[in-house]
Structure 1
Amino acid sequence: MPLFSNVSLLTQPKRLYSAAELLLGGLLLISVGKGLPLLMATPANWGVAIAFYTVISTLIMFFWPYGSLGWANRVTLARAVLVALVAGALADNTFIGAIGQWLAIAVFALLLDGVDGWIARRTKSHTPFGARFDMELDALLILLLCAGLLRLESLGLWVLLIGGMRYLFIAASWQFTWLSQPLFDSFRRKAVCVWQVVALLLALTPLTSHLIANLLAISALLSLTYSFGFDIWWLYRNAKRG
């Protein structure tokens, strides 16, 4: 079964199960959002959060070719709810007045990152879709943290490169197909990813000064640039050998 399938929903009755689960996820979004009145204080907050969740749900319905989502993907869907709330709180800058709650939601979403993978391994339900769903949520959350840091500390648009570099890499692979070749497993890549998240969270904490926030963000950007640069060099070298 391919990773992505564009089979019509009308030919997939089992998708009614996943549609019901996505609807429950929407209800979870509303329930959790109602419990965060400081973060979800305006119609704009709700509009952005619901829009994010709607887009994510639509993509799931389009790409998920099976019936029910399974427990691992349900946990990832719960993470999607939290990521949508993180996005919603950025509207009207309401997250600034409740930065502690906003960071707590982001950290909880990150902590759940290991839970869905653990469940997938325990239940032997690992799928390429689930891995991609998990990875794309991570990337989106990092980009949202960058947007929050831009607004909170006014560091400049360069901070968005931390979360946007992966998307630039993907866009470049459309033109240079050798960039889309598989990469080797790398501890360096994982370590840089962890530091990227840690640096952003530390930079966003209220106790961090503007100078330290700058230094943390710069360290994340430099380490990420090195990591991507090394991978690009490796892919280019292998493409030339081929």
Structure 2
Amino acid sequence: MDTIAPRRPTPADRVTLFRAALTACCAVPAVASLFTGGHPGPVLVLLGALAFLLDAVDGAVARRTGTASEAGARFDAATDAALVLVLSVATVTVVGPWTLAIGALYYVVAAAAIARPHLRRPLPPSLSRKLIGALQPVALLIALLPGLPAAAAAAAPAVALPLLVFSFGRDVVALERLHLASGPTARQRHQVIRRAQVR
């Protein structure tokens, strides 16, 4: 298991932490709506939109202060995923339970990475990956706008979900190909080590 060394929170971390707190606030009406069957309300939309917009701030703060790090990027990604999950839960009573797939997909791939650790490898930056990722909370927030007809509310998530599946699928395929390409060399090194231990 990877260990995370203690470190002092950076200014960007504080912004991300504020986003995480906003996400937690969104979770309260989102979960409550599952029990009442009603609309989560405009407060969730406002808080969710603020948490989404601040996503552009923490990265800019990290770059400006020279404190960008892998740990900060992981914290940011985890907060993004949590926000999308909460918003997908909130849309269940508005659009339908199928929107949960939008929020769950990140965690499905993360769970798969436990059995296949190479899925955690970093990939080259991709503009399409960023755009598709940013589309998910936008689509869910649109669906949560009060007074929107059911068909209109479902339209944005219906477009966002296939794009998300495509993006994750493309990345998983790329990582699997990299793993297969490096497999024989890795196995040969392992065999050499085992032979040396036997001797």
Normalised by the length of structure 1, the TM-score is 0.68
Q: Which amino acid aligns with 1:202?
A: I
Query: How do 1:53-202 residues align onto structure 2 when only pairs under 5 Å count?
Result: 65-67=6-8, 69-93=9-33, 99-153=41-95, 155-156=96-97, 158-202=98-142
Q: Which residue number corresponds to residue 239 of structure 1?
A: 179
User: In structure 2, what is the equivalent of residue 221 of structure 1?
Assistant: 161
Structure with the greater alpha carbon radius of gyration: 2
Shift of 1:214: 2.3
Offset, 1:95:
10
Q: How far does residue 168 in structure 1 lie from its aligned partner after superposition?
A: 0.4
Report the Cα offset of residue 113 of structure 1.
1.2
Task: Quote the RMSD (CA, aligned, Å).
Answer: 2.1
User: What's the offset of the Cα at 1:143?
Assistant: 0.4
Length, aligned pairs only:
179
Identity %: 36
In 2, the alpha carbon distance for the partners of 1:216 and 1:189 equals 17
Partner of 2:4: 4
Amino acid paired to 1:146:
S
Letter in 2 for 1:199: A
User: 1:194 offset after TM fit, Å?
Assistant: 1.7
Give the residue type in structure 1 aligned to 2:72.
G
Equivalence for 1:212: 152
- Partners of 1:185 and 1:88 lie apart in 2 by 34
Distance 1:95 1:105 in 2: 20
Q: Deviations over 1:189-211 (max 9, x none)?
A: 11111221221111111242211
Distance 1:212 1:83 in 2: 25
Q: Aligned partners of 1:232 and 1:200: how far apart in 2? A: 24
Cα deviation digits, residues 24-61 of structure 1 (max 9, x gap): xxxxxxxxxxxxxxxxxxxxxxxxxxxxxxxxxxxxxx
Q: Which runs of 5+ in 2 are unaligned?
A: 183-199
> Which structure 1 residue ranges, 4+ long, deviate > 3 Å from structure 2?
94-98
Displacement of 1:145 in angstroms is 0.3
List per-residue Cα deviations over 1:100-156 (Å, max 9, x = no partner): 221011111111111121111111122222221111111000000000000233x12
Amino acid at match of 1:72: A
Unaligned runs of 5+ in 1: 6-64
Q: Distance in 2 between matches of 1:75 and 1:177?
A: 30
Contact 2:31/2:90, CA 8 A, preserved across alignment: no
1:192 and 1:3, CA in 2 relative to 1: closer, same or farther beyond 3 A?
A: farther
Distance 1:201 1:214 in 2: 11
1:163 Cα deviation after fit: 1.0
Quote the Cα distance in structure 2 between the aligned partners of 1:235 and 1:159: 26
Conserved? CA contact 1:79–1:109, under 8 Å:
yes
The answer as to whether partners of 2:119 and 2:172 remain within 8 angstroms in 1 is yes
